[in-house]
Amino acid sequence: GDSVTQMEGPVTLSEEAFLTINCTYTATGYPSLFWYVQYPGEGLQLLLKATKADDKGSNKGFEATYRKETTSFHLEKGSVQVSDSAVYFCALRMDSNYQLIWGAGTKLIIKP
Amino acid sequence: NAGVMQNPRHLVRRRGQEARLRCSPMKGHSHVYWYRQLPEEGLKFMVYLQKENIIDESGMPKERFSAEFPKEGPSILRIQQVVRGDSAAYFCASSPTGPAIVYEQYFGPGTRLTVT
Q: What is the DSSP letter of A72?
A: B
| Secondary-structure breakdown of chain A: helix, strand, coil percentages, each rounded to the nearest 5 | 5, 50, 45
What integer is the mean pLDDT of B14-28?
A: 96
The model's pLDDT over A69-94, given as tens digits with 9 standing for 90+, comes to 999 999 999 999 999 999 999 999 98
Q: What is the pLDDT of residue A97?
A: 80
Mean pLDDT of chain B: 92
Helix (H, G, I), strand (E, B) or coil at A84: helix
Q: What is the pLDDT of residue B1?
A: 53
What integer is the mean pLDDT of A6-30?
A: 94
What integer is the mean pLDDT of B101-110?
A: 83
| DSSP assignment of A46-70 | EEEEE-STT-EEEETTEEEE-BTTT
What integer is the mean pLDDT of B68-87?
A: 96
Contact of A30 with chain B, judged by CB distance below 8 Å, is answered with no
Share of chain A above pLDDT 70, in %: 100
Sequence-separated (6 or more) residues with CB below 8 Å from residue A67: A53, A54, A73
A-B Cβ pairs (cutoff 8 Å, strict)? 53
Contact of A29 with chain B, judged by CB distance below 8 Å, is answered with no
Of the candidates A4, A1, A16, A40, the one whose C-alpha atom is nearest the C-alpha of residue A111 is A16
Q: Do A103 and B3 touch (CB under 8 A)?
A: no
Of the candidates A99, A82, A70, the one whose C-alpha atom is nearest the C-alpha of residue A19 is A82
Q: Is the pLDDT of residue B100 over 90?
A: no
Nearest Cα of chain A lies from the Cα of B114 at a distance, in angstroms, of: 17
Q: What is the pLDDT of residue B38?
A: 87
What integer is the mean pLDDT of A27-36?
A: 92
Furthest C-alpha separation in chain A:
44
Q: What are phi and psi of B60, to 5 degrees?
A: -85, 135
Name the pairing type of β-strands B10-13 and B111-115.
parallel
d(CA A44, CA A112): 24
Q: What is the pLDDT of residue A20?
A: 97
Q: What is the pLDDT of residue B60?
A: 95
Q: Which of the given ranges, A25-29, B7-11, B51-55, has the highest pLDDT on average?
A: B7-11
Nearest Cα of chain A lies from the Cα of B23 at a distance, in angstroms, of: 12
**What is the rounded radius of gyration, in angstroms, for the C-alpha atoms of chain A?**
13
Comparing A22-31, B67-76, B83-92, B95-104, the range with the smallest average pLDDT is: B95-104
